[in-house]
Chains A and B, each alone.
Chain A
């Protein structure tokens, strides 16, 4: 019996362990090794911290880094602000019959690839795009305006891309909120604002935090949207990593950047958990 169990465990665990070691752990170990290696002009290798040092010495690197972090936090907050009313409507206001349909509407854009979705936005926003066309037709504008290639357009694209990952955990956490708690608060004299901040948000905190973690990580690691929708000044840190690997062919520098990004995201997630008083175990559940 115990022998059977052991085999069963081994059977089911093997693909997971293979996946983790071959595709995650081993490459990361190699990247970590690479990030500490300096390749001299003569092709010799030395163990050095110079890859990390150049990150701090060159303002363009760490400025992009800080910018990426701040914008990712802003995108996360904006996504929360948009997703909370949407999730509340889906769980508490909409009739049970329409709930599935509304969730489907949220899910639908994710059936096409991110690239297609971003091009969709570009068709809408660009100088000769749909929105400009109508604004000109209606006489609101005399000259077409370039709405793409700035930070606002990039944030819009990132929030749009992240919505689903905030709505899903919020819907599941709000479903467990007893309606009578809201009614009780209302009955005891609370207005709408108090109900949201004293009852709904505290109850939804685990969902908010888990959604925020996913959205933050996805945004921080996003390459496509900032690259296509952001302007020349909207450099994203992933683009720096890409440049090091592909353009400069400096894998050692790129590996160091990659690890800095990993540290950053872990650090901010840790800070977020501390600030909201949650633990990773609780949030993941």
Chain B
């Protein structure tokens, strides 16, 4: 399967330095044809620099970038088969929609009739038929978005690069554009490389996500694996929410090991994690992995009692803040809005349970950082 897939974009050990600061540190990855690939990272992690190097707007100090097997070193952006959708879209305000989209085609010297046909075809594709004569300032945020993407797609690039294009939209529109963008990518089949700091955008749209931090990739995986099996504490913290609980490993055997917190809570975690007895670890536990008042018949759960400190109502994303008995550790626990827990109020004591496979441990931060 993997052998007959064409590699559209190859990045090998690419490094970029700005004076003393290394923005991108020996990053390597490959993107297969037709994939939606995202690079997810906090601002300043080097993702924009990486994207600009692929587009040709910056040159790597080291390493190689190939598009469809061709080495891109020394090839200027206007000659590369990759196009970039800019963060603030960079639509040309002095031109109308049709001229914006035709800009690239005209630079290639295509005939007027062909340009006209292609422009109206791509506008149809992005659901803006008949918008040719509109001025840029007459468009709404979402329409501008689609024109910016159409302007690149009309050139049929090998790789379409997108630099956080949804960042400027309001929340509702962003949710909608996420789905639309995913659908559009499936329809046109172009390889997308998308960078964002919004984990939800990356998880919803992508086939593969690379989590980037301080110039290097922490993990490159499917969205599901990033969420369920984070490879590093950074990924565990950055993708989704997590409660972090420090403690030590005790009584390890093949199937389970015991995790003890300094305040005397004891849990069981699955034994497929490579910890020796006495290791100091941080337990990462997602709010949504914890069940409030679990079914007593359900064995094999870690259970503990906790005080409810406060209720954070946020619709489907509601949480409670709870502290385990005899501890000050505050935990975020998901509060499903299925009417089952409507009677909870601050001060109540509830039982909380979680499956031993949901808890993921990493060595305590102070040990790993040099």
Contact = CB atoms under 8 A, between A and B. Distances in A.
B107 A194 contact: yes
Contact of A186 (B76, B87, B93, B94): B76
Closest 7 CB pairs of A and B: A189-B107, A184-B90, A188-B104, A180-B90, A202-B94, A189-B78, A187-B77
B88 interface: yes
Interface in B248-283: none
A207 to B, nearest CB: 13
A189 B94 contact: no
A66 to B, nearest CB: 35
B292 to A, nearest CB: 48
A191 B92 CA distance: 16
Nearest to B82: A187
23 contacts: A180-B87, A183-B77, A183-B86, A183-B90, A184-B90, A185-B103, A187-B55, A187-B56, A187-B57, A187-B78, A187-B83, A187-B84, A188-B103, A188-B104, A188-B151, A188-B152, A189-B108, A190-B78, A190-B103, A190-B107, A191-B107, A198-B103, A203-B93
Interface in A183-211: 183-191, 194, 198-199, 202-203
B202 interface: no
B90 A178 contact: yes
B88 A188 contact: no
B155 interface: yes
Contacts of B107: 188-191, 194
A189 B104 contact: yes
A188 B85 CA distance: 10
Given A180-B88, A194-B107, A188 B94 contact: no
Nearest to A203: B94
A181 interface: yes
A188 B57 contact: no
Contacts of B55: 187
Given A183-B84, A188-B155, 15 more contacts: A181-B90, A181-B92, A183-B86, A184-B84, A185-B103, A187-B57, A187-B84, A188-B78, A188-B103, A188-B107, A188-B151, A189-B78, A189-B104, A189-B155, A202-B94
Contacts of B103: 185, 188, 190, 198
Nearest to B99: A198
Interface residues of B, number: 23
Nearest to B80: A187
Contact of B92 (A183, A187, A189, A199): A199
| Chain A residues touching B, majority SS | helix
A118 B58 CA distance: 46
A186 B92 contact: no
B57 A191 contact: no
A182 to B, nearest CB: 9
A202 B99 CA distance: 14
A178 B57 contact: no
Contacts of B88: 178, 180
Nearest to B109: A189
A198 B76 CA distance: 19
Contacts of B104: 188-189
Contact of A183 (B57, B79, B93): B57
B145 to A, nearest CB: 14
A184 B155 contact: no
A53 B87 CA distance: 64
Contacts of B83: 187-188
A184 B86 contact: yes
A178 B77 CA distance: 18
Interface string A147-190: 00000000000000000000000000000001011011111111
B57 A185 contact: no
A261 to B, nearest CB: 35
A186 B77 contact: yes
Of the listed residues A183, A194, A203, the one surrounded by the most CB atoms of chain B closer than 10 A to its CB is A183
Interface string B50-67: 000001110000000000
Interface string B80-122: 0001101110101110000000011001100000000000000
Interface in B149-167: 151-152, 155
A203 B57 CA distance: 22
Contacts of B76: 186
A203 B95 CA distance: 10
Contacts of B57: 183, 186-187
A185 B103 CA distance: 8
Contacts of B86: 180, 183-184
Contacts of B77: 183, 186-187
Nearest to B85: A184
A180 to B, nearest CB: 4
A116 to B, nearest CB: 42
Interface in B67-81: 76-79
Nearest to A202: B94
A279 to B, nearest CB: 16
A198 to B, nearest CB: 8
A187 B75 CA distance: 11
